[in-house]
A = this chain, B = another copy of it.
Amino acid sequence: MSLSLPAAVKIIEVGPRDGLQNEPQTIPANVKIELVDRLSQAGFVNVEAASFVSPKWVPQMATSTDVMAGITRRPGTIYSALVPNMKGFEGALAAGVDEVVIFAAASEAFSQRNINCSIAESVERFRDVARAAKENNMRLRGALSCAFGCPYQGEVTADSVADVTMQLRDLGCDEIDIADTIGVATPRHVQTIMQRAASVFPIDCLSGHFHDTYGQALANIYASLEVGITIYHASVAGLGGCPYAKGATGNVATEDVLYLMQGLGIETGIDLDAVVDAGQFISAQLGRKPASRAGNAIAAKGERCQIS
């Protein structure tokens, strides 16, 4: 006996922003432009390409305007950017971003330690950005961090997740990401939280953002498919480490997610081989091997063994 799975999913490639932001090296704009273009050409309908935050906070993202100006826009691909405030929004608007990403934590302790304010205050601060996004016909996405556990407070309840999901919904978010920021979740916990979030926001507009810190990301994605989640975030070559456990793995690798979907017969519209190549490209720039098991196996010519 098996639960039915979705026939198709949307994969949001977050490597160029969420991934590279957490890499120690600073990558020049021309390399980021090539990465974004390789990814859109591979078939992604949504690429998180930039972040309009202060370069004092995140020096890796200082090139966001140049990146947005330099890429070749692929029709049908949405280019997203993180914006922390109205100043960031103005930058994103000027750069022609399609979707702005705002954020909140499901953990009070994380909100205080990460952005120095309560969850409620952080949501309130985004009210102007949310309104401006709507007025400018931009998509609005809300990223909800620490939905499965917090590095500071430990446990995060399903009530907290539902509560902050409703606050992001009420700001007008078109899509909300339920994120396992520190990669601690396991499958049944994931199903519980996803089902709870889906009780307050349309399930087709909820996404799963999983980190592979404890090796659980693919199992968690499979468990999310079983409860009907159809949007997933992934980072090519597993770009981005875990800032809360030095040397540990961060974002789940896109190649591993695509291999899973291919094996399950779930449509993504994305060319896995092109993503493997993009992962090799950016990893060479960073001077290391991709943190993707499927990517490395395929690159090692293990692809002749692929059985769906």
Interface presence of A74 (CB below 8 A): no
Interface presence of A212 (CB below 8 A): yes
CA of A188 to CA of B151, assembled, Å: 34
Chain B residues closer than 8 Å to A223, beta-carbon distance: 222
Cross-chain contact A149 with B247 (CB below 8 angstroms):
no
Q: Which of A212-255 contact B (CB under 8 A)?
A: 212-216, 218-219, 221-223, 226-227, 242, 244-249, 253, 255
Cross-chain contact A248 with B296 (CB below 8 angstroms):
yes
Q: Can you name the residue of chain B whose Cβ is closest to the Cβ of A2?
A: B191
Cross-chain contact A297 with B242 (CB below 8 angstroms):
yes
A187 CB to nearest B CB, Å = 5
Cross-chain contact B308 with A189 (CB below 8 angstroms):
yes
Q: Can you name the residue of chain B whose Cβ is closest to the Cβ of A300?
A: B245
Interface presence of A154 (CB below 8 A): yes
Q: Can you name the residue of chain B whose Cβ is closest to the Cβ of A248?
A: B297
Copies in the complex: 2
Cross-chain contact B248 with A214 (CB below 8 angstroms):
no
Q: A3-B1, A185-B263, A263-B188 are in contact. Are A244 and B305 (CB under 8 A)?
A: yes
Partner pick for A222 among B213, B214, B222, B293, CB 8 A cutoff: B222
Chain B residues closer than 8 Å to A221, beta-carbon distance: 219
Chain B residues closer than 8 Å to A242, beta-carbon distance: 297, 302
Cross-chain contact A189 with B307 (CB below 8 angstroms):
yes
Interface presence of A288 (CB below 8 A): no
Interface presence of A264 (CB below 8 A): yes
Cross-chain contact A259 with B216 (CB below 8 angstroms):
yes
Interface presence of A148 (CB below 8 A): yes
A-B residue pairs, 10 tightest by C-beta: A186-B263, A245-B302, A215-B293, A149-B307, A215-B256, A218-B219, A245-B300, A214-B294, A248-B297, A219-B222
Q: Could you list which residues of chain A lie within 8 angstroms of chain B, going by C-beta atoms? A: 1-3, 5, 148-151, 154-156, 182-189, 191, 212-216, 218-219, 221-223, 226-227, 242, 244-249, 253, 255-256, 259-260, 262-265, 289, 292-294, 296-297, 300-302, 304-308
21 contacts between A and B (CB under 8 A): A1-B3, A150-B305, A185-B307, A186-B259, A186-B260, A186-B262, A187-B264, A188-B264, A188-B265, A215-B294, A219-B219, A222-B223, A244-B302, A245-B297, A245-B300, A246-B300, A247-B296, A247-B300, A248-B300, A249-B296, A249-B297
